[in-house]
Amino acid sequence: MVGLPARGKSTLATKIKEDLRHDSVRVRIFNNGDLRRKLVPNNTSIAEFYNPDNLDAVLTRERIAGINLEKAKRFLKAGGDVAIVDATNASQERRNRIQTILSDHPLLFIECVNYDEEILSANILRKIETPEFNYIPHEEAVGCFNKRIAYYESIYAPLKDEPNFIRIDSLHKTVLKEEIRNGIPYYDQIRDFLVTDTIKHLYLIRHGETYYNIENRIGGDSELTENGLRQARELAEYFRGKEIPLIFTSQRKRTIQTAEPIKAMQKKCTIIPLAELNEIDSGVCENMSYNEIREKFPFIYSDRKKDKYNYVYPEGEGYATMKERIDRGINKVLYLSNSSSNIMIIGHRAANRMMLSHFLFRREEDVPYIYIPQDKFYYLSVTQSRKFFELRKYK
């Protein structure tokens, strides 16, 4: 693996490992950071440990990298099929060393890049929640991690002359460049894994009942009714025994209110609101009931009925124009989940329809009619070899 910190290297490394193991490939990850935390008695969260001018720290990090490479080499010699060396491997010098130590094995470099500053910031916040940063105040920890990144940027050399490499946008799962000159075992599988969504357990939930639901109004930012709050508490009770580290919601009150009781019953859980998961923007029809739309804008009412998927509300959105942002939201969810077994999204009726269609490939004309109840949720498991979904009751 190659890339600056917080670019998704470990997430992709874990994904490759799990997907290859599914095909009975003997694979193991060798993570420099994990080994560093075991071997270095002092806390290495301080940014100066990564300063390329700090010669003592450089020697320590190179020693750890060497130990990890030798461990990987022994694993392969003992019958392992694939060793994943998970580290920044940011400099050309480090990669030259890797090629020297592992010269008797086919090598594939996978470089992870991500240019989305919002997601990078969110990922850094997740990184500083690890035990490594426990003793540092929050703001100081953020500063330390950003300075660590800056030190790596000062020595960073993108892949260029390596004989076999893939450069991938780890957020959008898009291959930006690849060069394969030699035969690489499992290459086709690995490349396919890199661009394919894999989810162990996804719980796709619609928010609880709102006052607008009762009045049959669309859009807006209505709060939950007493019944909606009860639904949220019942959901929380249902998921009490499952580990839900992150709950992704829209930025609307009703999804966050639904998430809060679930978070309260978890040992450690964070709610992450994403604008990409917001409900469809109804433009001039926001906050109106369907009867009001029919009376005030009869042409909107009739035109939308003719082609609900492609119709776009004046000054708003349609299902078709939502697709790009919903896809982007899903990419953010998967990126930030960091290979978590259980992923929870609390969204809206139209937004959840689009998310289901993303994984289940429904016909466009059918998407606006997918059943999205408020007293049940969708469970999805999506892997390279299996797609499973089920509508489940939670009480």
pLDDT-derived band at 339, boundaries 50, 70, 90: low
Confirm if 321 and 353 have CB atoms less than 8 A apart. Answer: no
Kindly report, residue by residue over 345-368, the tens digit of the pLDDT: 999 999 999 999 998 888 999 999
Tokens of 390: 């089920």
Confidence at residue 384, expressed as pLDDT on a 0 to 100 scale: 72
Confidence at residue 379, expressed as pLDDT on a 0 to 100 scale: 97
Return the higher-pLDDT residue of 213 and 119. 213
pLDDT > 90? residue 191: yes
- Distance from the first to the final alpha carbon of the chain: 44
Kindly report, residue by residue over 231-268, the tens digit of the pLDDT: 999 999 999 999 999 999 999 999 999 999 999 999 98
Confidence at residue 252, expressed as pLDDT on a 0 to 100 scale: 98
Contacting residues for 229 by C-beta, under 8 A, at least 6 apart = 208, 257, 261
Rounded Cα distance between 263 and 257, Å, is 10
Q: Other C-beta atoms within 10 Å of 341: how many?
A: 12
Confidence at residue 328, expressed as pLDDT on a 0 to 100 scale: 93
Q: What is the CA radius of gyration of the chain?
A: 24
Confidence at residue 229, expressed as pLDDT on a 0 to 100 scale: 98
| Reduced DSSP (H G I as helix, E B as strand, rest coil) percent helix, strand, coil of the chain, to 5 | 50, 15, 35
Kindly report, residue by residue over 152-163, the tens digit of the pLDDT: 999 999 999 899
Confidence at residue 357, expressed as pLDDT on a 0 to 100 scale: 94
* Residue at token pair 């035109």: 303
pTM of the complete model: 0.85
Average pLDDT value for residue range 22-32: 95
Confidence at residue 337, expressed as pLDDT on a 0 to 100 scale: 87
Average pLDDT value for residue range 370-394: 91
pLDDT-derived band at 122, boundaries 50, 70, 90: confident
Domains of the chain: residue spans and CATH:
9-194 (3.40.50.300), 199-393 (3.40.50.1240)
* Helices 138-155, 117-127: inter-axial angle, 10-degree rounding: 120
pLDDT > 90? residue 41: no
Average pLDDT value for residue range 129-149: 90
Average pLDDT value for residue range 295-303: 94
